[in-house]
Structure 1
Amino acid sequence: MHPKSFYFYLLLLCIGSTELSAQLGFCGGNSGDPIFTEDFGSGTTNGPALPAGTTTYNFTNGTPNDGDYTISSTTNFLDWINIQDHTPDDTYGKSFIINASFTAGKFYQREVTGLCENTSYEFSSWLINLLPTINCPLDPEIPVNVRFQIWDETDTNLLAQGDTGDLFASENTNWQQYALVFKTEPGQTSVILKMINNRGGGCGNDLAIDDIVFKSCGDNVTVSTNTNETSLVICDDQGGVSRTLTATPDFSIFSTHAYQWQQSTDQQVWTDIANETTSTLSTPAITTTSYFRVKIAEDPINVNKDLCNVVSDVFDIIVLPIPNTPLSSGDITICEGEVGILSASTESSYTVNWFDAPTDGNLLLEANNNFETSIAGTYYAAANSPEIECASLSRTAITLTVN
C-alpha cells in the first residue's frame, strides 16, 4: 500500500471510530430538578413558529411537506399516526413536527443558559416516527435517524453527541426517550443544543419531538451508620439518641465530592447544618422526629446551588411518642362454658398486647384489640408500637367473671 494511501486509510478509520463512539445514555446516578424544559406549549391552533435561528426548516400552519415543520397538538397529517404529544396531563399539548428535508443536516438549534460550571448534566428528549407503515414502490424506506449534539457556548467544542439509530415505520410505534450526559467546563454556564437529521427526505423520515429537558446529574448517594442502618425508629422514653452518618457516593458521575449536610422536621423545609461539610455527620441528641440528607456537588462552588447539586437518600430518625394507656370496653360476665371477649382500644398507629399481670408478667396475646378466654380473672391490656418496643406506661385492667 502506498504511504499516502495508508495514512488516508488511517484517517478514515479514525473518523469511523469517532462515529461509532457517539453514544446516547441516561444519567447513571441521581438527577436534579429540571433546569430547562421545552414542551412546545398547548392549544388548538398550530404555531407559533420557533424563534429565528432555531431551525432552517420552513414553518407551516398546514400540512408539513419535505423541509417543513409545524408546532401542533395533532399529528394527523398525510398518512401519519395521529397521536397526542408526550407531555403528561397536557390538554391540547403541542409537539415539534418535522417532515425531513431532502438534504440531511441540522434542523434544530438553541442555546440553553443558567447552567453551572464544572457540572454534569443530562439532556433528554422524546421522539417518535410518525409513519405507521411504509409504501415506497420506487425507493427504499427512509428511516428516522437523529443525532443530538451538545456544544459549548462558543460553538467550537463538542461536549457530547449520540445517534438514535435507524427508527423504521411501525404500526406499534410510540414515544421514545433519548438522552445524553455531558459536563460543563470551568467558567461555562451555557451550551448549544443541536439536532441533526442523518437521513434525507423522501419516502419516510417524518417525526415529532417533545419535552426537551436539561437536569443536573450526579452520583447515587446512600446514607447509613457504621452498623449499616439506613433509618432509625426509637421510643420517646429512650431519651436523646445520636448517630454518626456516612454519605457514600457510587462515583458513577463525580470524581470528587463537596458536601453540605441538612436537617428537616417534615422533609419539606431543609436547613443547612453549619460547618458540616464532610462525608460524615454526628447528629445531635434527637428527641423529636428528624430527617437528614446531604447535598453533593463535584465542585465546592456548586454545592449550595440547588440547580447544580444533587441530594442523597434521606436518613430518617423517627421518634415515637409513648402511647396512652388503652381504653377498656368494660368488664365481662359470662356463664360457665362460654367464652368471654375482653376488648381494649388504642390509637390507630399502635396495637394492644395482653398480659396476666399489671407489670411484667406473661404475654398472653400480641397485637390484638380483643382477647378471648373462658378462664375467670383480671387481664391487663398495654398499648405498644408494632415497630419497636414502645409501650404505654401502665396497663388497663379488665376482669372476666364466670358464673
Structure 2
Amino acid sequence: MEGCVQGGRWNKKAPVGTIGLLLLICMFIPIVTLSQPPKEQKCPDGDYRTDEGICCNKCSPGFKLVEKCHADGQRTNCTACPKGQYMSQMNSFHNCMSCRICKKRKNEIEISPCERHQNTICRCKEGYYKKHIDLETYDCISCSQCRPDEKEKQKCTPESDTVCECKENSYRVKRKCEPCKNCTDECKQHCSSLPPLNTKAPEKGGEHLVNVIAGVSVVAVVLVALGIVITHMTTKWYTKKRLQESSTQPSDDSSDSCKKLLVHNTQPSTTIDVEAVPQLSVSEQESLNLPDCVPLEVKIPELIYTVLDLVPVLQVKQLVRSLGVKDIEIEQAEFDHRSCCREAHYQMLRVWAETGSRTGGGGQGGMLHWPLLQELLDELRNMHLGRAAEELETKYGIQ
C-alpha cells in the first residue's frame, strides 16, 4: 500500500498513470481475498457432515437417530431400537429394521434370536439345504439321496446339497454310472484294478481258429437281428388285426379289448395295473408310431401336488408361463385363491393340464398324456430344476 499512500497522503511524486493503476490494484486485492472459499474442515472418523455443514456423530449399532446435532461439538441424540427391531451398523437413520422370523413351514429353524444390534439368524433344519433364488431369497430343499450306483462324496449340510459320485470302477454317462469294462479315457484311474487287455498277437497256429470264431459270431448276430425283425413284424400284424376287429365292436368294449391286448403282449410273469386308455383308430396308432395300448397317462391331481412339492414357490409362476399358461389365467387363479398360494398354483397347473390333455380331464381323476409329461420334464430342466425332473422320472418309472 506504500505505492498508494505515504504517511496518510497520496504519493504526489508518482505519475498520474501509475497512481490510477495502483488504485485499481488496491480495490481488487480485498475482493480476490474474499472470493476464495475457506478450506472445508474434514469430519473426524465415524462422523458425517450434515446439509448445514456441521460434523455430527452417527448412532451406534442397536440405536436409531432421534435428533442430529446443531453445532460443532454437540452430540447426536440417539435412542435404542425397540423390541422386534434391530440396526446392525453405524447409522443416521430415524427407523430401525424389523427382525426376521424363521419359518417352520419352510423348514427353517432359529439358531440365534434377534437382538438390537443384529438380525435373527435362521438356517435350514436337518435333512434340508439352502438353495438360493437370488442374493436375498432362498428355499430349504430336501437333501438329495445318492442312487444305488453312486456313493456319497460329501454329506448334505444346511448350506449345500449332497454331492454324489460313481462307485469304484465306474464312470458317469449323462445321469447314470456305467461300469468300467476296459481301460478307456474315462476309466484310466481304475485301470490298475481292471484285467489288462489282451494285446498279444495270436500265434500262427491259432489264426484259423480265430477266423472261424469270428465268422460264427457274425452269423449269430445276423440270425438274432433277423429274428427280432420277424417277431416285430408278426406282433405288429397281429395287433393291427385285433384293432381292426375291435373297431367294429361297441365303444363300451374298447377298454376291455385294450386290456386284453396289453396282457397278451406282456410276459406271463408281469402284472401291470394301468388305467384303460381310450382306443385309437388304426391310422392314429400308426401315425403315433407307438406300441398299441401303452399306458401313456398319469393322474393329474397326483402329478400337480408332486410338482408343487418339488418346485420352489417363487418359480411356479415362471414354470406355468413357460408351459403356455396365459397371464390372465394366472391372475384369475391368484384372484380366486387369494388366501392360499398353494391352491392358486394348483389351479395354474390344472389349467395347463386341461388345455393340453386330449382326455379333457380336470382335477377330479383326470389323466395326463405322456407328451405333456415330457414337456413338463423338459421345462424343468430348462429352468435348472433337473433334480425335480429326476424325481418325477423316478416316481413314474421313466428311463
The alignment's TM-score, normalised by the length of structure 1, stands at 0.20
**Greater helix proportion:** 2
Q: Which structure's CA Rg is the greater one?
A: 2
**Greater strand proportion:** 1
Higher relative contact order (CA 8 A, sep 6+): 1
